[in-house]
Chain A
Amino acid sequence: QSALTQPRSVSGSPGQSVTISCTGTYTDVGRYNFVSWYQQYAGKPPKLIISDVSNRPSGVPERFSGSKSGNTASLTISGLQPDDEAEYYCCAYAGTWYPYVFGTGTQVIVL
């Protein structure tokens, strides 16, 4: 399994929306609705913000939303805030013997 492909960085001004893509294959993103997204600040562990393509765990703001089309999943951050500046990783399930394929990571920059 190869890492899922994400853009290295995306940027936006406060209040704007940004979308991060996560491209896999028909064996992972395309096959299962088990795509998750993690937010990570420098020196901290990742935090789950989206599970099962589009579900937000309790406490995650509605500004974060997820979707999927074919082999590509997406994370959209609406109403960008300075606190959203962090690294974001997607992760897909590729079967019981390879349950986690992570993306390459995307740095979100708030201008």
Chain B
Amino acid sequence: VQLVQSGAELKKPGESLKISCKGSQYTFSTYWIGWVRQTPGSGLEWVAIMRPADFSTRYNPSFEGQVTISADSSIGTAYLQWNTLQASDTGVYYCAGRRAVDGSPFDSWGLGTLVTVSS
């Protein structure tokens, strides 16, 4: 499973942003797609996950309300969106895929999108 992420972003606090992760239609019909943030101080953190087939979603409580996960299965693309960025949103965001069974690990990863929020 190949996941291709959008490029690095440099934004100012208060701005909005939507990053993307493209797979295949088959992937999006069978996999769950999630987002994982990595920062130097906090390591890896799961942000959110969605099953594009029926839009079931799960959010890490630490990120709920701050970001929105979405997907367009017709083009095999998932998104992570911020309406109001903060400096603390800075980090590398990986999209990752896992199989349908609950408890499955992320077995496919994109290369990551660096998001920098700075005034």
Q: A46 and B43 in contact (CB under 8 A), knowing A91-B105, A97-B58, A98-B60?
A: no
- B102 on the A face (CB < 8 A): yes
A99 near B102 (CB under 8 angstroms)? Answer: yes
Of A3, A45, A52, the contact of B94 (CB 8 Å cutoff): A45
Q: How far is the CA of A32 from the CA of B105 in the complex (A)?
A: 13
Secondary structure type dominating chain A contacts: loop
- Between A38, A91, A96, A99, the greatest number of chain B beta carbons within 10 A of the residue's beta carbon is seen for A99
A46 near B109 (CB under 8 angstroms)? Answer: yes
CB 8 Å contact bits of A52-68 with B (1 = contact, 0 = none): 10000100000000000
Find residues 77-95 in chain B having any chain A CB closer than 8 Å to their own CB: 94
Find residues 34-61 in chain B having any chain A CB closer than 8 Å to their own CB: 34, 36, 43-46, 49, 58, 60-61
Q: How far is the CA of A101 from the CA of B36 in the complex (A)?
A: 11
Chain A residues with CB under 8 A of B23: none
Residues of chain B touching chain A, judged by Cβ–Cβ distance below 8 Å, are 34, 36, 43-46, 49, 58, 60-61, 94, 96, 102-107, 109-112
Residues of chain A touching chain B, judged by Cβ–Cβ distance below 8 Å, are 3, 32, 34, 36, 38, 44-48, 51-52, 57, 89, 91, 93, 96-105
Q: A36-B106, A99-B102, A104-B43 are in contact. List 16 more A-B contacts (CB 8 A).
A: A34-B105, A45-B96, A45-B109, A46-B106, A46-B109, A48-B105, A52-B103, A93-B102, A96-B58, A99-B49, A99-B58, A99-B103, A100-B49, A102-B36, A102-B44, A105-B44
A-B contact pairs, 19 of them (CB 8 A): A36-B106, A45-B109, A46-B106, A47-B109, A48-B107, A51-B105, A52-B103, A57-B107, A89-B44, A91-B44, A91-B105, A91-B106, A98-B58, A98-B61, A99-B58, A102-B36, A102-B44, A102-B46, A105-B44
